[in-house]
C-alpha cells in the first residue's frame, strides 16, 4: 500500500507521521468534533500556536527604517519591516529577505537583540493570531526605502520623531528603535 506524502509545509528532513500517529490524530479529531446544533460550533476557532516572524531594525544617521503597515495587525501604523519566517529558513536570511521585499533596502543582519509578543485580536477581543517577533539588528548596506509587498509606505524616520507619539507606531517601536540605536553606536 503506498504511503501518503507529507503535507507541503512538512520539514523535508523529518520522517512522515506513522500510521499509528495518523490513527490517533483522526480519533482525536473525531472525538472533539461538534455538530451544527452544538452551541460550541458557533464559537470562533481558537488561535493556533505562535507564529515566528522577524523584524529588521536598521539605524542610519540618527534615523530608523520603518514601514507603514498595509495589513492587520496594526494596519496604517509605522513598524519595523519584517514578516514570517519560512520553515527551514535561517533567521538572518528571513530578515534580509523580508527587509528587501518590503523596502528595497539591503542590510546585513548582525544579531538578535530582542523578542516581542504581538496578539492579533478581533473586535470581541478573541485571539486570532499570536506572533513572536524576533528583532534583528541590521547594518544598512544599500538602497533607499520604497514601499513594497505588505507596506503602504517606507521611509527613514528621525529617532526623535518616535518620542511623544508624533508618529502612530506599533506597540514597542520607540523602545526597540532606541535599543537598536544604542547597540549600533557600540559597533
Residue 2 belongs to some domain of the structure: no
For residue 90 the three cell numbers come to 535561517
**Angle at alpha carbon of residue 105, lines to 102 and 108, rounded to 5°:** 115
Nearest CA to 165 out of 177, 174, 178, 157 is that of 174
For 56, the domain range is 51-186
**Which CATH number belongs to the domain containing residue 169 in this structure?**
3.90.79.10
pLDDT digits (tens, 9 = 90+) for 30-61: 444 444 455 444 555 666 899 999 999 999 99
Residue 105 belongs to some domain of the structure: yes
Taking the C-alpha atoms of residue 157 and residue 154, their distance in angstroms, rounded to an integer, is: 9
Nearest CA to 112 out of 88, 91, 98 is that of 91
Of the listed ranges 5-14, 31-40, 43-52, 63-72, the one predicted with least confidence:
5-14
Taking the C-alpha atoms of residue 7 and residue 172, their distance in angstroms, rounded to an integer, is: 36
Residue 109 in contact with residue 95, Cβ under 8 Å? yes
Percent of the chain with pLDDT over 90: 64
Q: In this structure, how many other beta carbons lie within 10 angstroms of the beta carbon of residue 177?
A: 25
Per DSSP, helices labelled H in the chain are: 19-32, 91-103, 173-186
Percent of the chain with pLDDT over 70: 75
Residue 30 belongs to some domain of the structure: no
For residue 21 the three cell numbers come to 500517529
pTM score, two decimals? 0.74
Q: Is the pLDDT of residue 106 over 90?
A: yes
Average pLDDT over the chain reads: 81
For CA atoms 99, 115, 49, 66, the dihedral sign is negative
Phi, psi of 75 (to 5 degrees): -55, 135
Taking the C-alpha atoms of residue 120 and residue 112, their distance in angstroms, rounded to an integer, is: 23
Residues contacting 166, CB < 8 A, separation 6+: none
Residue 151 belongs to some domain of the structure: yes
Helix-then-strand count for the chain, H and E: 3, 7
pLDDT digits (tens, 9 = 90+) for 136-173: 999 999 999 999 988 999 999 999 999 877 788 888 99
Residue 41 belongs to some domain of the structure: no
Predicted confidence at residue 81, as pLDDT, reads 97
- Domains in the chain, number: 1
Amino acid at each position: 500500500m503506498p504511503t501518503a506524502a507529507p503535507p507541503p509545509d512538512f520539514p523535508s528532513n523529518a520522517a512522515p507521521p506513522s500510521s499509528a500517529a495518523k490513527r490517533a490524530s483522526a480519533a482525536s479529531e473525531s472525538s472533539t468534533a461538534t455538530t451544527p446544533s452544538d452551541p460550541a460550533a458557533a464559537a470562533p476557532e481558537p488561535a493556533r500556536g505562535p507564529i515566528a516572524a522577524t523584524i529588521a531594525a536598521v539605524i542610519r544617521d540618527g534615523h530608523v527604517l520603518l514601514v507603514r503597515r498595509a495589513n492587520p495587525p496594526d494596519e496604517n501604523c509605522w513598524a519595523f519591516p519584517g514578516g514570517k519566517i519560512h520553515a527551514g529558513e535561517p533567521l538572518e536570511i528571513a530578515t534580509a529577505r523580508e527587509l528587501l521585499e518590503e523596502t528595497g533596502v539591503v542590510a546585513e543582519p548582525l544579531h538578535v537583540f530582542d523578542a516581542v509578543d504581538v496578539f492579533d485580536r478581533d473586535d470581541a477581543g478573541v485571539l486570532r493570531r499570536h506572533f513572536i517577533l524576533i528583532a534583528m539588528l541590521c547594518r544598512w548596506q544599500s538602497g533607499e526605502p520604497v514601499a513594497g509587498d505588505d507596506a503602504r509606505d517606507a521611509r527613514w524616520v528621525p529617532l526623535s520623531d518616535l518620542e511623544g507619539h508624533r508618529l502612530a507606531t506599533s506597540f514597542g517601536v520607540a523602545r526597540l528603535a532606541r535599543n537598536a540605536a544604542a547597540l549600533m553606536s557600540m559597533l
